[in-house]
C-alpha cells in the first residue's frame, strides 16, 4: 500500500499555518494594532478541522489580511494567476495559500478550485460584492458563490468589517490611521441554506447571506463607534457645565 503524504500536516498544508504564514501573521498583528487599533471577535466560531466558506463585505485591499490575521488556520483567497508569475510576489502568494484564477477561463475555473480546496478541509474566503465598495456602503451581492455552496455543501462563516474603507479607500496612495473592527458571526450550516439553493431560488440564498453579513458589519460598526460615543458624551458634558441628560444637575464631584 502506498502511503499518501498529502494527508499529513506539513509547512505547505493549507489546513495548518506554515512558518511564512505565522511570521506574516505576527508582523501584521503588530502593524494593524499600531495603525488600525484592530480588534477582532468571534474567531472561536471557526471550526478547527473542516472545510468552510468565509464570506465578508469588501471595504479595501486590506480585507483578506484583516480576515485572516487572527485565525489559527489559514484562509485561501483568490487572486489573478498573472500575479503568480511575478517572482517574489508569486512565491509569497503560494506560501500563504492564495488560489490562482484564470480570468480567460471564466468563473467555472474559480468555482472548481474553490470547491476542491473546501472539500480537502480548507477555508476559502470570498467577497460576494465582487469588488471593493466605492462609497463605504455594502453593495449588492453577486450570486457566483452559490455554485460553490451547492457543490461543496459546507458551512458559511459570515464576517463583517468596519473601518477598513476609512483606512484605505479606493484611490488612496498612503494608508490612513483609523479604527478597524472585524466580527465573525454565527456559522450558517448547509442544512439551513439547502432550502434556498434550488434552481431559481438563488436570490433567496443571496438575500439571507447578505443580511447575515450586514448584521456582522453593523455589529463591527457599533463596536467601532463605542469609544467615539463616550468621547462625544464627555465633550457634551464639558460644554454644558456637567449637566447630565438624566436631569441630575451639574456634576460637582
Residue 37 lies in a domain: yes
Residue 93 lies in a domain: yes
Mean pLDDT of 55-68: 94
Which pLDDT score, from 0 to 100, does residue 44 have?
96
d(CA 170, CA 164): 11
Residue 153 lies in a domain: yes
Q: Mind giving me the DSSP string for 101-147?
A: E-GGG-HHHHHHHHHHHHHTT-EEEE-TTSS--SSSS--PPPSTHHH
Contacts of 205 (CB under 8 A, 6+ apart): 143, 146, 149, 193, 196, 197
> Residue 228 — pLDDT band, cuts 50, 70, 90?
low
> Which of 146, 73, 160, 139 lies closest to 107 in space, CA to CA?
146
CATH number of the domain within which 218 lies: 3.40.1130.10
Residue 142 lies in a domain: yes
Task: Specify the higher pLDDT residue, 155 or 250.
Answer: 155
- The pLDDT tens digits of the residues spanning 9-49 come to 333 566 677 788 889 899 999 999 999 999 999 999 999 88
* 58 has a pLDDT exceeding 60: yes
Backbone angles phi, psi at 139, to 5 degrees: -85, -175
Task: Specify the higher pLDDT residue, 22 or 83.
Answer: 22
Task: Specify the higher pLDDT residue, 30 or 235.
Answer: 30
d(CA 247, CA 121): 58
- The pLDDT tens digits of the residues spanning 153-205 come to 999 999 999 999 999 998 888 889 999 999 999 999 999 999 999 888 889 99
Which pLDDT score, from 0 to 100, does residue 154 have?
96
Number of folded domains that form the chain: 1
d(CA 77, CA 55): 11
- The pLDDT tens digits of the residues spanning 88-136 come to 777 778 778 888 776 654 568 788 889 999 999 999 999 999 888 998 9
Residue 4 lies in a domain: no
| Domain span including residue 215 | 13-224
Residue identified by cell 433567496 is 204
Residue 251 lies in a domain: no
* 53 has a pLDDT exceeding 90: yes
Residue 245 lies in a domain: no
Residue 133 lies in a domain: yes
* 7 has a pLDDT exceeding 90: no
Amino acid at each position: 500500500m502506498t502511503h499518501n503524504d498529502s494527508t499529513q500536516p506539513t509547512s505547505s498544508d493549507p489546513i495548518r499555518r506554515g512558518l511564512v504564514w505565522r511570521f506574516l501573521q505576527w508582523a501584521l498583528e503588530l502593524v494593524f494594532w499600531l495603525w488600525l487599533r484592530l480588534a477582532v471577535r468571534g474567531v472561536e466560531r471557526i471550526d478547527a478541522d473542516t472545510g468552510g466558506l468565509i464570506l465578508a463585505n469588501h471595504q479595501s485591499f486590506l480585507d483578506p489580511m484583516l480576515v485572516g490575521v487572527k485565525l489559527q488556520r489559514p484562509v485561501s483567497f483568490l487572486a489573478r494567476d498573472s500575479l503568480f508569475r511575478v517572482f517574489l510576489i508569486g512565491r509569497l502568494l503560494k506560501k500563504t495559500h492564495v488560489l490562482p484564477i484564470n480570468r480567460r477561463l471564466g468563473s467555472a475555473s474559480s468555482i472548481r478550485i474553490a470547491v476542491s480546496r473546501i472539500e480537502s478541509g480548507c477555508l476559502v474566503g470570498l467577497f460576494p460584492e465582487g469588488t471593493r465598495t466605492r462609497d463605504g456602503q455594502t453593495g449588492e451581492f453577486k450570486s457566483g458563490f452559490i455554485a460553490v455552496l451547492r457543490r461543496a455543501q459546507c458551512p458559511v462563516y459570515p464576517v463583517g468589517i468596519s473601518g477598513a474603507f476609512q483606512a484605505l479607500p479606493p484611490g488612496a496612495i498612503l494608508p490612513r490611521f483609523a479604527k478597524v473592527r472585524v466580527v465573525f458571526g454565527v456559522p450558517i450550516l448547509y442544512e439551513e441554506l439547502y432550502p434556498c439553493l434550488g434552481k431559481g431560488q438563488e436570490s433567496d440564498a443571496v438575500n439571507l447571506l447578505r443580511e447575515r453579513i450586514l448584521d456582522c458589519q453593523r455589529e463591527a460598526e457599533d463596536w467601532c463607534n463605542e469609544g467615539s460615543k463616550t468621547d462625544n458624551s464627555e465633550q457634551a458634558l464639558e460644554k454644558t457645565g456637567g449637566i447630565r441628560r438624566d436631569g441630575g444637575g451639574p456634576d460637582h464631584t
